[in-house]
Structure 1
Amino acid sequence: MGSATELYRSQIGGPSVINYSYTDFPWKLVLRDVRYFFVYSWALPWILWPAFTYGSGELDELYPTLPNLFCVAIHGLLIVLQLAFLLVLPVAIIFPLWMVLGAVTAFMLVNWLLCTLLNGPNGTMHSDEKYAKALPQHAHEQWVFINGVAVGKHWLKNNLNRLAITFKRPVLGIHNRTWGIIFDIVECLIQRNFSYATSDVRIAYKIVKNALYDPAKSKVVLILHSQGGIEGGLVLDWLLQEIPQDLLSKLEIYTFGCAANHFNNPHRHAVSQKLTRENPSVALGTVVTETSSVISSDGNSPVDARRDLGVRIPASPSLPREHSSTLSSSTRTSTLAHDRAIAHIEHYAHSTDFVSIWGVLHFATNRTGSPLIPRFLGRLFVRSTGLGGHQMNQHYLDGMFPLRRDPVTGELVGVDEEGNEFMDEVVRLGVEGDAMDNIREAFDITYAGTQGFGSGEVSTPVEVHGVVTDGGKKLSRRREVKVRDLSRLWSYRNGMSPQGSPQLLATEGSVRGLSASQMG
């Protein structure tokens, strides 16, 4: 059978309030984070390991080019200086106040100057056109990336170019600036426990919000790495508070080595959540169409809104046709099982990656041993080969989306679709104990609508971790499910698109889309 990847199906959500979550008292969360930092410190070396595999050549973070070596050298110097600063700071009370303030100011100035050499002046950046040109068939998409810890302008550019060549689409990068690895970790603690939005979070929110409101865009793909997962989670919290639901349906989120402590994605209706938990087969088989329209008498002021949720809901009386006009309308069809604000969220993690263990694996897989775990929505793929580090290009993308080269020129030309060990790994369900059984969606819900579902041999029945299912029934026929069968992000490789991609383009003032079940 070979190696296997653990799949943790998306949580369902519910009415319970869980103390160990981002809604708890911030200082209590900080103390817990510091504790588990040391508990999981055995995995710190895997942040850079393996260090000498270079599937993407000079695009890999540790490949021995002069710019990469310069970045490593500056970070090494910053680590030494910041450790010395933190060790000396507690004994500073024996010195006069003016001397302490002067020394702290001098240190912060030196730290800022060194980080400026890494960061550069720009808050955003684009992938180079030579790696992916803007093609007409992708004009309705906006791809956005937020980087992780310790990434300056050079590594961000390499991340963007690696993503561009992987998915054959231009990618916009929002620069999460580095202040040195140690200070970046402190910033992570502040961001995820105090819900503090730094300037790059605010920039990301503005960019993603504008893209969602853009009538020429039907899809916004947000890719997050490491600390970028914290920042993207904060952006998502804001979007859920403000953005209309039909616009939110454009958004898809994919994380790698996510450092966040929560990820929200509520069901849009209470009946969806209830059936997904209590009767998955009914939730999967029940299709709901929701149509909303805004009608105005003067072309400006909305006076009537109608909704259709499968059962007609009475609307307020309509104005005479000659005195009204439809400003906008949207239609969304989905199964109750897929009736969520964000249609697609996927997390990818290495079981030996310290940041993943301290982040997504700690909060999404009940590593605390508690019968209740924080809200962390989205399906999670955990690779357990023991070879996974934390670097975006060198470890995650090279390991999960390896590239092939032109045999003549040696240039990187796209994803190797055949020789991909990760995508060919057999999926097994992550085991958490009986207490977790009722908080995750059924496997049938996770599998439905993905790349192979309903297309012949790949449909059903399937075997996952020794269990054969077909709508909840045990059968004798067996077929192993691989990561490529479940990964939606895989279906974007080399410029491809998932089956049944949504078309939420403006047409005569209206925004209309395909069903969420068709989206996958």
Structure 2
Amino acid sequence: MKRKNGRKPPLPYTASPLRLLCADILLVLRSLWCLPGIILPLSSSDELDELFPSTENTFNVIAHVVLALCQVAFLLSVVGGFLCMVPALWISIYVVVFVWINRAICALVFNNTDEVLESRVPIEERPEHERECWVFINGVAVGRHWLQNNIDRLAYTFGRKIIGVHNPTDGIVFDVIECLIQRNFTFATPDTRDGYAITKATLLNPKYEKVVLILHSQGGIEGSLIIDWLLDELPENVLRKLEVYTFGNAANHFNNPYKSFLGYGEPPATDSTISEQDASVQAERSVLHIEHYVNAFDFVCVWGVLQFARVPNRYMGRIFVRSGSGHQLNQHYLDTMFTLGPDRRVLDTNEFMEMGARTVEYEKILPKHVRHERNEVLVTNKRPSDGYRTTPASQRGQGDQYERRPLKVKDLSRLWQYRNGGSPVDG
């Protein structure tokens, strides 16, 4: 069945895993046009950036390039072995030996770390932060060094201690293969189970009133599985403590079903800028707040969030699509969306947050549609519905008059309100 635009929709994520895998392999191959979007632009301004010219970063990049070349050569040799009718036993031994050596090298070079890390940078936490728990799951090709930089950058950005669940790398090519296996076979790796255990335990801990899950790249796939499990196991009043924010999401679905308030008293407070009707819709969701931040020409986003968000009710949460490229969390997402000043505090404004927000339907979030003006950001769902924000003029000393101005990204981004240790209006 085709949609109105003539494009065949993606298979349901509950379809045959083998069919899903074949479709995903073709999708990745069709998306190779934006492969440079993983690392471009190369410009780096902060020592925490992944491509900052430091000794450790340079070593990591060289190691990943060498591994990627070896892995591509290995895959081609396996295909060649089948075509040349090499005995299956020999091919099997060859595959096992190569994968074992690759795993050993990655463990030595990238993954020599504990499964769970904590941010180490000095921050001034507020008393109310003791009732919050922030958990981060990293993406593709991230070893210990880059994970530590990620959670340290997040700690600077949001003024809170960050727990990092390490999704270990096996090299870029093998990581992409693992992504396809994870999202098509709902395969839960040990780090996915660790992330689930930590998230569930903190949600059930009465000490915490809020649990924030931040996901990047492949971490989005693991996060989608974690949310599926939590939806199955936890009651609504517990799930409402959870908030989810993703960057460069590689998942093929993101669930957040409607649920009733019966038995749970009054719904939680919502942002003061949201209409009653929109607030009601938001409050009926199991997880009250989900946001996805996307670079339009990020290779992973093209075969991830941008591909699947167009399917109705498949990718829940508000999606922000920036007209740009880059997949690295610190360098291409946080530096552009949550820019730090010399004092390691997020600046009060930046180009991304000041951009106009153009509301579009989910089905318009497609790679061929994201070439919008560079001074605007595509935003899904219709809150506020008219595309304008009403600001009390009394805030500007003009009595009871009101001013209507076009919405900017900062008006819609809940995550923006957490910068520098702050909290959203609803607490």
State TM-score, norm by structure 2.
Answer: 0.84
For residues 320-339 of structure 1, what are the structure 2 equivalents within 5 Å? 332=268, 335-338=279-282, 339=284
| Change over 3 Å in CA distance of 1:446–1:179 after alignment to 2 | farther
Counterpart residue type for residue 57 of structure 2:
N
- What whole-Å deviation, never above 9, does each CA across 1:168-217 have from its counterpart, x for those lacking one? 10100001110111110111001111111111110000000000001010
Q: 1:498 matched to which residue of 2?
A: 424
Q: 1:403 aligns with which of 340, 343, 346?
A: 340
| CA-CA distance at 1:109 after TM superposition | 2.6
Corresponding residue SS for 1:262: coil
Instruction: Verify: 1:488 aligned to 2:414, yes or no.
Output: yes
Checking the alignment, whether the CA contact within 8 Å between 2:359 and 2:381 is kept in structure 1 is no
For residues 382-397 of structure 1, what are the structure 2 equivalents within 5 Å? 382-384=321-323, 386=324, 388-397=325-334
- What whole-Å deviation, never above 9, does each CA across 1:435-455 have from its counterpart, x for those lacking one? x9xxx85333698xxxx9776
| Change over 3 Å in CA distance of 1:30–1:105 after alignment to 2 | closer
Gaps of 5+ in 1: 1-17, 270-288, 293-307, 310-330, 367-371, 407-412, 460-475, 502-520
| Change over 3 Å in CA distance of 1:261–1:458 after alignment to 2 | farther
Distance across 2 between alignment mates of 1:87 and 1:341: 45
Q: 1:121 matched to which residue of 2?
A: 113
Q: 2:382 aligns with which of 422, 439, 442?
A: 442
| CA-CA distance at 1:135 after TM superposition | 3.6
Distance across 2 between alignment mates of 1:222 and 1:458: 36
Checking the alignment, whether the CA contact within 8 Å between 2:151 and 2:164 is kept in structure 1 is yes
Q: 1:424 aligns with which of 327, 330, 354?
A: 354
| Change over 3 Å in CA distance of 1:373–1:333 after alignment to 2 | closer
Distance across 2 between alignment mates of 1:180 and 1:195: 21
Q: 1:377 aligns with which of 298, 307, 316?
A: 316
Distance across 2 between alignment mates of 1:50 and 1:123: 31
Counterpart residue type for residue 415 of structure 1:
V
| CA-CA distance at 1:66 after TM superposition | 1.1
| CA-CA distance at 1:430 after TM superposition | 2.4
| Change over 3 Å in CA distance of 1:446–1:253 after alignment to 2 | farther
Corresponding residue SS for 2:357: strand
Checking the alignment, whether the CA contact within 8 Å between 1:363 and 1:374 is kept in structure 2 is no
Checking the alignment, whether the CA contact within 8 Å between 1:21 and 1:261 is kept in structure 2 is no
Q: RCO greater where, 1 or 2, for CA within 8 Å and sep 6 or more?
A: 1
Distance across 1 between alignment mates of 2:38 and 2:81: 32
Distance across 1 between alignment mates of 2:363 and 2:98: 50
* Higher helix proportion: 2
Q: 1:360 aligns with which of 284, 290, 305?
A: 305
Instruction: Verify: 1:41 aligned to 2:32, yes or no.
Output: yes
Identity %: 46
Counterpart residue type for residue 444 of structure 1:
P
| Change over 3 Å in CA distance of 1:187–1:456 after alignment to 2 | same
Distance across 2 between alignment mates of 1:454 and 1:210: 40
Distance across 2 between alignment mates of 1:477 and 1:403: 30
Instruction: Verify: 1:343 aligned to 2:288, yes or no.
Output: yes
Corresponding residue SS for 1:224: strand
Distance across 1 between alignment mates of 2:394 and 2:419: 19
| Change over 3 Å in CA distance of 1:103–1:441 after alignment to 2 | closer
Counterpart residue type for residue 199 of structure 1:
P
Q: 1:218 matched to which residue of 2?
A: 209
| CA-CA distance at 1:490 after TM superposition | 0.2
Give the alignment's Cα RMSD to 1 decimal: 2.6
| Change over 3 Å in CA distance of 1:37–1:58 after alignment to 2 | same
Q: 1:72 matched to which residue of 2?
A: 61
| Change over 3 Å in CA distance of 1:217–1:375 after alignment to 2 | same
Corresponding residue SS for 2:211: strand
| Change over 3 Å in CA distance of 1:142–1:454 after alignment to 2 | farther
For residues 284-295 of structure 1, what are the structure 2 equivalents within 5 Å? 290-292=262-264
Checking the alignment, whether the CA contact within 8 Å between 2:13 and 2:20 is kept in structure 1 is yes
| Change over 3 Å in CA distance of 1:27–1:165 after alignment to 2 | same
Q: Which has the larger radius of gyration?
A: 1
Corresponding residue SS for 2:353: coil
Q: 2:169 aligns with which of 169, 178, 183?
A: 178
Checking the alignment, whether the CA contact within 8 Å between 1:149 and 1:178 is kept in structure 2 is yes
Distance across 2 between alignment mates of 1:61 and 1:39: 27
| CA-CA distance at 1:374 after TM superposition | 5.9
Corresponding residue SS for 1:173: strand
| CA-CA distance at 1:102 after TM superposition | 3.9
Gaps of 5+ in 2: 1-8, 271-278, 367-379, 396-401
Q: 1:22 aligns with which of 13, 16, 20?
A: 13
Q: 1:237 matched to which residue of 2?
A: 228
